[in-house]
Amino acid sequence: MCSLAGAASLLSTGLSVAGSVISYNDQKKQAYNQWLSNVQQELHAEKYRGQLLEYQNTTYKQDIEHGFNVLDYQKNEFDRQAKTIDRATESIDKGRFNQYGQLLLRQVQEHVATTLGMDDVRRQGRKMAASGEAAAASRGVEGVTVDQIIGDVARQEGEAVTVLEMNNTGVQHQLNMEMQGVKATADQRIFDIPMATYAPSAVTRQPAPVSPTAPAVQPPMPSGSALVANVGSSLLTGLNSYSKWSGTSLNDMFKIR
């Protein structure tokens, strides 16, 4: 009976030790599997981070290229528009100067015509005065009467010259006003030339920084010292139980014979 109880205690001790070892191995396996899963998650996260960085860099590069393309287009449009405006302005200026030339020619013509008209009036006046004097002399008229005839001719001559001068002044003033109108019209045409404007382009923003990947967390492994302590405690308990049921002291059990 005692031998059977001792054997049972030894079997119980063996099972306890085996259970501790199996539990330790299971915990170690679970911890290793958890750590392996964490490492795989870290690899996936690092792969995603790399893909995100690549996507951001590609998008940023495309934005920069698009910005340069927009600037090139605007520059070409500005150059084309500047050339068009220069040609249109040159054409308007040519038309204005042509009109100026025509008006200046009219001014000269009017001035020459007035001068010739005044010369003709004076010549006619002198002719009429000479004719009046000759007629008066042939008729024996002298004195105040002749002076009145000459004075009347001179008055008519002066009035005609004055009218010609006034007309010339009015025409010159009108032509000067027309020149100002030509200039105002040309300036308005230049001002009305269509000119496209462009809003400032939005600043290309750099990609946002990507957070670093968190390292895989290694779960705590089961303690080997705790396993040794449990195994030792189980062995000691089993030996004490065996010693109790077998009647053999621990000293006798480990005595070297």
pLDDT digits (tens, 9 = 90+) for 60-78: 888 888 888 888 888 888 8
Residue-level pLDDT at 213: 62
Secondary structure of the chain in HEC code, one letter for each residue: CHHHHHHHHHHHHHHHHHHHHHHHHHHHHHHHHHHHHHHHHHHHHHHHHHHHHHHHHHHHHHHHHHHHHHHHHHHHHHHHHHHHHHHHHHHHHHHHHHHHHHHHHHHHHHHHHHHHHHHHHHHHHHHHHHHHHHHHHHCCCCCHHHHHHHHHHHHHHHHHHHHHHHHHHHHHHHHHHHHHHHHHHHHHHHHCCCCCCCCCCCCCCCCCCCCCCCCCCCCCCCCHHHHHHHHHHHHHHHHHHHHHHHCCCHHHHCCCC
pLDDT at 157: 77
- Asked whether the predicted pLDDT for residue 256 surpasses 50, the reply is no
- State the pLDDT at residue 74: 84
pLDDT at 2 over 50: no
Reported as a single tens digit per residue, the pLDDT across 101-117 is: 999 999 999 889 888 88
Residue 6 pLDDT greater than 50, yes or no = no
Domain boundaries, the chain: 2-194
Mean pLDDT in residue range 172-179: 90
Q: What is the pTM of this model?
A: 0.48
